[in-house]
Structure 1
Amino acid sequence: MLNLKKEKGAFLKFHYPLNLIKMNTTKEQELLRTYQLFVASFMENSSVDELNDILSPDIMGFGTTSDEKVFGIEAVRNLNDIGKQQKQSLEDYHYTSKIIKKQISKKGDAAIIITEINLGYSIHEIKTVMPLRITTVLFFDETWKVIHWHGSLGVESEGDTWHQNEWQRDNDRLQKKVDEQTAELKKSLVDLKATQSQLIQSEKMASLGELTAGIAHEIQNPLNFVNNFSEVSNELVDEMNEELDKGDLEEAKAISLDIKQNLEKINHHGKRADAIVKGMLQHSRSNTGKKEPTDINALADEYLRLAYHGLRAKDKSFNAQLVTDFDDTIGNINIISQDMGRVILNLITNAFYAVNEKKKEQVAGYEPTVSISTKKNTDTIELKVTDNGKGIPESVKEKVFQPFFTTKPTGEGTGLGLSLSYDIITKGHGGELKVNTKQNIGTEFSINLPL
């Protein structure tokens, strides 16, 4: 129970057993009781000795006039002594208090409480009512303790308050600066996002450039078939007409079957060319971010061939052994095929670059080899791209997924390929992209996608 006792020279005195703070109360109730005890001591100028348990040794406070500054418990004691002397000349001293704001930190280890107090007293039968405001900061360390307080009078004169109006003006100036800086930061963020989008699109177009020669090679093959079968079919039509003129219907039917087969082959290779063009357009345009069932083996094989023929078109001397080991039990998996194709292309292109650089060193017996494999595990799909190139130095291995980091000479790499690939795998597909490398042995990039 909280006991209230009337004493001489004071309106109300809080007699408050401190051990009640720790008994059968919630943390917020402890906060309020600690605060009530502090306000009572502030207004009644109680002995500080009985309040040691709720005051921080580093307590700091500012009173209602510029000379009322306290730092530490001893200073609070001195201020209370001054208050006691002043009250000896007062009559009918009394007050009422009301909490107008209470804010507790998210962690529950700090709180700010603001209280409005109406103070009344008489001097030579002249009655005075004075509005006060006390702002108190408390922190929790096993128990609540007061670490800071500020008292101010509800008047406009700065001489009667501890720079209350000046603080308000400073606060307004600071808020204005915060608003200006916030606006600048928002603009910088918009500009940064726009630049990021441009860089990503540039990287997409750069990878498309890597594909261009390979795409041309891949399209040329079906076009050759289309042209050849068209010419043959044209000749067969002439032969069929001759047989019809002779009245040999059986031979004409046989020739018509050959023509039909040729048309089917033309259609097949035409669709093949169409698929290549659509893949190229899909690679260059912005994706929808929608996952669709995709044959990961076919996707990997497609980009392996395109990347290889693309590099061969630029450098006729380049040659490498291509090794594939696809797990046929995987089937279709839900991925963003456009993004995954970009990742595979980047890893394969890097692998070709690595083996080509090592080949330039003319190491005896060296045969450039790039392999790509897939494997279905219990709850993941694993895709690996491996090369027997020069490897990545340990000193830079941890940086390979950082934006703009590249080991290639200036002008030969943007430093965004692996960074974008890492984001696509980890953020876009919830997977993992790891690198394992040994200098002069080779490098292996492994992708793990959840099923």
Structure 2
Amino acid sequence: MQGLQHEATYKTSDMLLFGAFLLLSLLHAGFYFYNSAQSANIYFALYTLLGALSFCCTGFLDEVHRLDLRILVDILSYVCLQTGSLMAVRALYSLFSVPVGRVYYGLWALNVISLLLLIFSQNLSWYPTVLFMVLVTGEQLHLTLGALRRTKRAAGIIATGYGIALTLLVVFAYLATYQPQVLMREVLSIPVHTLLTFPAFLSPVLAISLFLTRRFALDSRLLAVKLNQVRRLSAQTLDQQKEKQLLLAQQNETLERQVQQRTYSLQQTLNNLQEAQNQLVEREKMASLGELTAGIAHEIQNPLNFVNNFADVAVELLAELRDGPLQTLTNQDKEDAESLVNELTQDLSKIAYHGQRADSIVKNMLQHSRTSPGERAPTDLNQLADEYLRLSYHGLRAKDKSFNATLTTDFDPTLEPVEVVAQEIGRVLLNLFNNAFYAVQQRQKLGQPNYRPEVCVATRREASGQVTIRVKDNGMGIPEAVRQKIFQPFFTTKPTGEGTGLGLSLSYDIVTKGHKGAISFDTRPGEYTEFTVSLPVHAEKLQALNFSV
């Protein structure tokens, strides 16, 4: 009866170990399937599978009644148990990254020898297996302790499991050798050999499984952390790409704006160059025209002097004829002769008048084309403007006694002398004053009620470092159609015989070319006209053009 209880206890213990080992084998095979980089799982899965087969064989051994089959199943049990133990050692090599060496291959050789002794030597029985398992467990414990020395703290779990297994196996071997009766005793209805073998086989397996499970959990957690890092880095990379794209768009916009600005600047430069080229061409044309004008004027001067002189001589001769030979004629002949002489005298007077006018035009043409230099000197522009204003006004009143106008001056008392060619600036002012008085005189002739002719002149020292002279009249104004032509040579709005069309052209050249200044005008037809002459105060003492009116 007691033997049957022992056999039942053995069988129950083996089946429990079979189920535990098989479950662990499937678990770690799944671990390897999901994470093949951890190769220790596949070795441990083979170890637990072989262990499960070993315990399955021992668990069903009593069901086999044929002796040869019982021996075969028993041998298969030991083969699976010992080979599985070597798989456990191989799993530790892989787990702790230890290279496989002679010890491992020596264990394989010892495994083969112990199995041969088990098969062919009846006296040794299962003692070689116990010795082999002690050595294997010792190597496993050695690997675990080596991992502990390399600061792999988690290896303490496996070391504990193998320590327990090794201790129990040593105790089992000692009792089996020297006190076999103790193994058959029961503690809490469980035989001592079961209390020794069951935890001896199961503790390393559970320790390694716990270690691998912990490693798998740590790897999963590490993968989760890395996944979060990857996601964060991806978000940062995406944000950086967006920032780069935004920066690139801004840079493209800036570059496009700079290209447009530079294109506009180049276009302006090109336009300025073209304008300068046109101005050079015009200046060359005007220089050539001036030379041509001077040549023509010189050629016309001689025959014109001849005509004027002979007209004067002819008038004198007709006067002598009237006072002399005509007095000896009869009354009828005398009247006819005097009529002819008077008519001839009038014709000669008209010839002399138009000859003098042509002579004035020729002189203006010569003065317009002349380039002789004038000397700059400090000049009181207030005094110069007042002097030429009075000169122009009294010159006009000498021709028309009925003309009266109001002269208004607004001179800057703080204005210092300016270096100019006084004669040339005087000609400019005289031309402007003459035009102003002519404009108010023409408006006065219209007979507008309550109209009072007025000419104003003002001087100012500007903040820009220039001196301005303003000449304003309340005359006819300048029509819009002729504003672009008033500075052109020979252009005039005055009737024939009252202007040569060179006054404003000559004034423009004197101010802009001779004194590096500017002349402009503001006008409103029927109300006023105001000319502004701007002269630089600190102009260099250059040679100015000497023009004459």
Structure with higher helix content: 2
| TM-score bucket (shorter structure) | 0.3 to 0.5
- TM-score normalised by L of structure 2: 0.32
Normalised by the length of structure 1, the TM-score is 0.38
Which is higher, the Rg of structure 1 or of structure 2? 2
